[in-house]
Amino acid sequence: MKQLFAFIKKEFYHVFRDWKTSLLLFGLPVIQIVLFGFALSNEVKNTKIVVCDYAKDAGSQRIIQMLEISNNFEIEKAVMDEKAIEKTFKEGKIKLALLIPAHFSEDLTHLNKAQIRIIADASDPNLATTLTNYVTSIIMGYQKELIGNMTIPLQINPEIRMLYNPELKGATNFVPGVMALVLLLVCVLMTSVSIVKEKEMGTMEVLLVSPLHPFRVIIAKALPYLVLSIINLSVIILLSVTLLGLQINGSLLLLFGISILFILCALSIGLLISNITQSQQIAMLISLLGMLLPTLLLTGFMFPVENMPIALQWISNIVPSKWYYIMIKSIMIKGLGFSAIWKETLILFGMTCFLFFMSIKKFKIRLA
């Protein structure tokens, strides 16, 4: 027991002595929370659009005013033809052009009908759709203003309520994802690299001939990363609550329990990778391409899984972080209890057992 303790202490020294690695270990969760929380969003604001007002009458002025009030755009006013619009699109500054034809208000009052053209730079399709929708709804608002108090029969009015996240904050969606990502990074990448490093440097031999059982050597290797993961987890939760104002609706104990199960699963993967590879570069690439990329893509925290081709949706089922992500969302945001997630827990538990068993089987006491 004392020997094991000495080994664990050695591993901790290894980790903490190296500030460049610690930068990643402790900096990444903080940076990710800040970036995802404050910098990255799919919301559209401050986008530059150009209004080509050929009418210059009361109606067009009012529409421009309403666009300005909405605060979604930066509006530039210029009278351009299609060629000039294409040129500005190619320069890339302006994403949408609104063309109000001459005699706009006149047509509207006399003929009860007027046209407006919207041209969007659809090289970013989502941005184009969102901008077009915004502008359309503002013009519709102007039309409603004109109609005023005229009565329209049989109105159906949809009332929308947003569950769990009324302000439509991005945090509820990505915080569980960041948790999965950081835990994987620490447990899979760092663990596998740190063991393979000993192999590559030749110090593994020294460890294996020591009186400590080889299995305990591995335990001693994994333990610091378990502790680190729990620290990181707490940091992420603390930051999300204080900085992003996220509420933890479910049981914190259950949250940590499930997380520890996931950490064990990730550590098993890390051990497995380190047992089948001989060089750090390969271990890194396998962890990056094999674990981090699928996590980023297939858990559903950046991209909706249900949009993907069926084959990818299938593959997503064998990615452990997908199940973790589902459970964390259920606990943290929906505030559900264990009864709602026992199935996912069982799947993750099964995966962990399988991976752990595999990594022990692949573990060699002798060096090649």
Partner 1 sequence: MKTLRHLLVKEFKQIFRNKMMLLIIFVAPVLQLLILPLAADFEIKNINIAIVDHDHSPISRQLRSKIEFSNYFKLVSVSDSYAYGLHQIEKDKADLILEIPRGFEANLYRENKQSLFLAVNAINGVKAGVGGGYLSRIITDFNREIQSKSGFNSRNSSIPTIEISSTNWFNSNLDYQTFMVPGILVLLVTMIGAYMCTLNIVKEKEVGTIEQINVTPIKKYQFILGKLIPFWIIGMVVFSVGLFVVARLIYGIIPVGSLFILYAFLGLYLIAVIGIGLLLSTVANNQQQAMSLAFFFMMIFILMGGLFTTIDSMPNWAQWISKFNPVTYFIDVNRMVMMKGSGFADLKYHFLKMLGFAIFFNVWAVLNYRKRV
| Residue 346 in tokens | 């069982």
User: Is 240 or 330 the residue whose CB approaches partner 1 more closely?
Assistant: 330
CB of 239 to partner 1, least distance (A): 17
Report which residue type is found at 17. R
165 neighbors 207 (Cβ within 8 angstroms): no
CB of 4 to partner 1, least distance (A): 24
User: Is 90 or 213 the residue whose CB approaches partner 1 more closely?
Assistant: 90
Closest CA to 258 of 185, 348, 164, 355: 348
User: Is 197 or 216 the residue whose CB approaches partner 1 more closely?
Assistant: 197
User: Is 7 or 301 the residue whose CB approaches partner 1 more closely?
Assistant: 301
User: Is 5 or 82 the residue whose CB approaches partner 1 more closely?
Assistant: 82
348 neighbors 262 (Cβ within 8 angstroms): yes
Measured N-to-C along each axis, helices 191-201 and 252-276 cross at an angle, to the nearest 10 degrees, of 30
Half-sphere exposure for 178 (CA within 13 Å, toward CB)? 25
CB of 32 to partner 1, least distance (A): 8
Q: What is the dihedral of CA 351, 354, 356, 361, to 10 degrees?
A: -160
Q: Is the four-CA dihedral 224, 230, 233, 237 of positive or negative sign?
A: negative
User: Is 41 or 234 the residue whose CB approaches partner 1 more closely?
Assistant: 41
Name residue, tokens 């990444």.
28
CB of 216 to partner 1, least distance (A): 23
The C-alpha atoms of residue 207 and residue 198 are separated, in whole angstroms, by 9
| Residue 120 in tokens | 């969007």
CB of 160 to partner 1, least distance (A): 5
* Cβ-based neighbours of 341, under 8 Å, separated by 6 or more: 258, 326, 327, 330, 331
CB of 357 to partner 1, least distance (A): 26
User: Is 101 or 257 the residue whose CB approaches partner 1 more closely?
Assistant: 101
Whole-angstrom CA distances from 85 to 45, 96, 119, 138 are 21, 9, 9, 22
Angle, CA of 199, 225 and 271, to the nearest 5°: 45
User: Is 36 or 262 the residue whose CB approaches partner 1 more closely?
Assistant: 36
